[in-house]
Amino acid sequence: MIIVPGSSNAALAYRLSRELGARLAKVEYRRFPDGERYVRVLDDVSGEDVIFLQSAALSPDEYLVESLLALDYLKEFARSVTLVLSYFPYARQDERFKPGEAVSLVTVSKLIRCLGVDRLVTVDVHRHRVLDMRSLVGVPYADASVMPHLARYAADQGLVDVSRLVVVGPDAEAEQWAELAARELGVPHAHLVKSRLGDREVEVRVSGGIDVSGKDVLLVDDIISTGGTVREAARLLLGMGARKIVVGVAHALLVEDALVKILEDGVEEVFSSDTVPNPTTRVSAAPAIAAAIRSFGAG
């Protein structure tokens, strides 16, 4: 088995190679003078089971084109190709909310299907309205989760008092992540309800009975982009008497000054996985990705 790293996240590709005991290939990535991408895989991948890893966040167009070029080459020579999209780009536009909108999740999924990769692994993929990603991409598929690892990190580092901890998702879709994190620590979980008003504005409200008074709250989500969601949820929970809020997130994009604003709003700590390297990265997604790859019986 050989890991071919995309240019987005060499550190995660290295950690995955250590987890799987696989070789890490060398690849040349550059641009032609006219701006087009150049990809050259320097190791011989003939007859190999190849894992191509890309975290296509923050510069999604660039990483997407690079992945298409690399995967098409790898499919020609390797015995099998597993695509690990540790950050799946364009997943948040998963529906046509207004007439005329392109549905980018579907388009990217079609590209993956066209390339004929043998398997796809994602990490806590944004899955709000599309619940069946496997049918969408049309190949054997696994979604690895870092949520148990984030929860374990919070407990082991003493960021929360587990005896009075509630794990909360900021919207209904985040309940799945709150459940995974809560199960790891054997604590209760709940979720809030969110309405999106614009790219940067959301409204978060309480649904059903949720009591956080005097409790430590581990707020978990798949993505922090502008921080609007986490900030609104944290304000609400602090207003309900929560003792402290810490935030654990799979993919911390933290655009503009999101991190500062979240901390200014009273969140004590933000920590994230290494799918998108950033100042809050504390936990590696490599063990979860390796387990997902092994579940296919490929490593």
Please report, as ranges, the residues that interact with ligand R5P according to CB under 6 A. 92, 126, 170-171, 173, 202, 221-229
Q: How far is the CB of 113 from ligand R5P (least distance, A)?
A: 24
State the first-to-last Cα distance of the chain, in angstroms, to the nearest integer: 7
**Minimum Å distance from CB 90 to ligand R5P?**
12
The residues, any chain, with a CB within 8 Å of residue 72's CB and separated by 6 or more, are: 115
Minimum Å gap between C-beta 254 and ligand R5P is 9
Catalytic residue among 26, 194, 215, 244: 194
Q: How far is the CB of 181 from ligand R5P (least distance, A)?
A: 14
* Nearest-angstrom CA–CA distance, 113 and 24: 25
Q: Can you tell me whether residue 17 is helix, strand or coil?
A: helix
Output the smallest distance, CB 264 to ligand R5P, in A: 15
Residue placing its CB nearer to ligand R5P in the complex, 2 or 233: 233
If the CB atoms of residues 7 and 226 are measured against ligand R5P, the closer one turns out to be 226
Q: How far is the CB of 249 from ligand R5P (least distance, A)?
A: 9
Between 50 and 202, CB nearer to ligand R5P: 202
Residue 251: closest CA among 128, 145, 120? 145
Quote the CA–CA distance of 51 and 121 in Å, as a whole number.
Answer: 10
DSSP 226: S
Residues 6+ apart with CB under 8 A from 23: 1, 2, 3, 17, 43
* Rounded Cα gap, residues 161 and 185, in angstroms: 11
Angle at 110 between CA 133 and CA 112, to 5 degrees: 80
149 membership: H or E segment, kind and range: helix 147-156
| Smaller CB separation from ligand R5P, 71 or 202 | 202
> Closest by alpha carbon to 251, among 288, 290, 221, 289?
221
Nearer to ligand R5P by Cβ, of 59 and 195: the residue is 195
In the residue annotation, 110 being an active-site residue is answered as no
Q: Rounded to whole angstroms, how far apart are CA atoms 65 and 200?
A: 27
Compute how many other C-beta atoms are within 10 angstroms of the C-beta atom of residue 260. 11
Residue placing its CB nearer to ligand R5P in the complex, 152 or 196 = 196
Q: Which residues are designated catalytic?
A: 194
